Amino acid sequence: MSTNDQNPVHYDAVVIGAGFAGIYMLYKLRQLGLTAKAYETGDDVGGTWYWNRYPGARCDVESLEYCYSFDPELEQEWEWTERYPGQPEILRYAQHVAERYDLYRDIQFNTKVTKAAFDDDTGRWHVSSAPAVDHIDHNHAPAGPDADLVTAEYLITAVGCLSSSNVPDVEGIDTFEGELCHTGRYPKEGIDFAGKRVGVIGTGSSGIQAIPVIAETAEHLTVFQRTPQYAIPARNHPLDPAEQAEVKADYRKLREQNKTQHGALGARFDWNEGSVLDVEVEEAFKEFDARWEIGGFAFLGAYSDIARTPEANHVAADFVKDKIRETVTDPEVAERLIPSTYIGCKRLVLDTDYFITYNRENVTLVDISENTITEITPDGLRTVDGTSYDLDVIVFATGYDAMTGSLLRIDIRGREGLPLAEQWYAGPRTYLGLGVPGFPNMFTITGPGSPSVLANMIVCIEQHVDWIGDCIDHMRANGHRHIEATEEATEAWVDHVNLVASYTLYPTCNSWYLGANIPGKTRVFMPLPGFPDYAQKCDEVAAAGYEGFALIQS
Ligand code: NA7
């Protein structure tokens, strides 16, 4: 297909990204009879699960809940092999979906959308793209020249919440003579750690998953920790076919539970509505112990006030701190691993043998909270106190410019050339996490202001895609050319998100939910705690004729 500025190819919709959101959106658009094109930076579908190939990469939501529900045949036929899906299996699933519904033909891979601008005269989106440049620091890598310009009625962003990797700007990073990678941009061919001196920087979910696996083969592993994290055993195991068959026998029930439960999660365990403060500590610890054995987010379901009340949170945190002290044999190392934040104010990590890994002789923990890394050298790295660490491999497990990073790295311009970065200069402003004032016909799947990362992402993706599909259908049926979030509704929604967050302990620590991990990023709480109420609100908005949006006739 050839395009040029004078005569661009026109689609009903352009979708940015071919992860789980992008491929389901493509499917939905096709069902509606619309023409659509998706652009994807990687060379295959999968999004986050395409890039995160690091050792130990695994989803923290159970397989039977972390999959599409839109086609009962798909959910019956696909067989998961483990309680939590590992990255290779999730990627195979995404590929299977893309093949099964013949989606590949509408996806252009190895392509980065560089610019999307709304044209006030034609009322269309103009989308430019360029060959993707694969580089560890892809955020700052120059893209190739703009290669493609297409137009579209609808611009749908499916860029993922965790896809712009955060590689700290450390002096000397380009001088390192060993191998250097970021977990979210992990090399396809993998890295052989055998006999090597490895440094892992970062102890969030990615670091905590990778560290025990790397430690098994590395000659020596040095973990550079800025902030300790709470981690709960995942207790992953092969899925018992009988258990899987039992869920499949009444999959609708589990799906309905997903849609109505806190965080669209945990259909397979109880969310206790009681307060931990109403029971003796011994009884609470007994309950925590039971959930510790179950593994996973069941822990957070032990009492309803853990995420809201400092005193309740302390009880749960103390339980985990005791577990760390019991597990790690060197008391000094154990103390260094104990977090001082509220449990759950950063996303709770599910681990497999994380803390016990520090009992290995070939693993060293270095606290860089104050003794920061000053320089990467050809041989390794150096910290403020002048200590040099000789390394053959450096793995940055330093997270993402979450929620907004991938959107703001595209030059998106709304009416009258308004840059999205300007509209969001004081933090992201959306209505329902789906629409932005000044940006007609642009939909942001799992955008800031929606539950997204605070809930089961697949459920959130399906809810958004279905809502967008219904909205477009409604517009076409009623002769509406454009839809745009109003300023008033957006203002009220942003206030609502802040208010809901303020009832929780989430805003109390320096997490990526707040953008606090990115130097200079405005500190605003971005996701909305509150699935399923949120989904109900979206339905009400639609039922009220898309209240809070302006609908403009053709
Ligand atoms: P996270 O959770 O953002 O963790 C990143 C880790 O890297 C965390 O320990 C950070 O410390 C650390 N970090 C970040 N920048 C630096 C610098 N400059 N120097 C040293 N250490 C740094 O990302 P993950 O990839 O682990 O997980 C992301 C999500 O994926 C996770 O929540 C799950 O939803 C799945 P900090 O805590 O900021 O002090």
252, containing H or E segment: helix 251-260
Q: CA distances (Å), 550 to each of 281, 468, 480, in order? A: 53, 15, 10
Average pLDDT over residues 71-81: 98
Assigned domain for 31 exists = yes
Nearest Cα to Cα of residue 456 among 319, 314, 254, 291: 254
pLDDT score of 479: 96
Residue of 173, 345, 517 to mutate, ligand 1, most atoms within 8 A of C-beta: 517
CA of 162 to the centre of ligand 1 (A): 11
Q: Is residue 311 part of a domain?
A: no
pTM score, two decimals?
Answer: 0.96
3-class DSSP string for 261-330: CHHHCCCCCCCCCCCHHHCCHHHHHHHHHHHHHHCHHHHHHCCCCCCCCHHHHHHHHHHHHHHHHHHCCC
Residue 475 lies in a domain: yes
pLDDT digits (tens, 9 = 90+) for 497-539: 999 999 999 999 999 999 999 999 989 999 999 999 999 999 9
225 Cα–ligand 1 center, Å: 10
Residue 512 placed within a domain:
no
The domain in which residue 151 lies consists of 9-165+401-486
322-337 mean pLDDT: 98
Section 330-348 average pLDDT? 96
Residue nearest to atom 27 of ligand 1 (CA): 205
Neighbours of 553 (CB within 10 A): 9
Is 244 domain-assigned? no
**Residue with CA closest to ligand 1 atom 32:** 347
Nearest-CA neighbor of 130 among 111, 151, 107, 115?
Answer: 111
Reported as a single tens digit per residue, the pLDDT across 279-317 is 999 999 999 999 999 999 999 999 999 999 999 999 999
What gap in Å lies between CA 220 and CA 39, rounded to an integer? 41
Residue 469 lies in a domain: yes
Asked if the structure places residue 23 within a domain, the reply is: yes
Encoded tokens for 385: 């106190």
Query: How many A from CA of 397 to the centre of ligand 1?
Result: 6
How many domains does the chain divide into?
A: 1
Q: What is the CATH number of the domain that holds 126?
A: 3.50.50.60
Nearest atom in ligand 1 to 168's CA: 18
Which tokens go with 399?
A: 């997270």
> How far away, in angstroms, is 22 Cα from ligand 1 center?
25
Closest alpha carbon to 36 in 115, 101, 131 = 101
Q: Can you tell me which atom of ligand 1 is nearest the CA of 48? A: 30
Q: What percent of the chain has pLDDT over 70?
A: 96
**Using a 6 Å CB cutoff, which residues line ligand 1?**
162, 168, 183, 201-207, 226-227, 347, 368, 397-399, 453, 512, 517
Residue 26 resides in a domain? yes
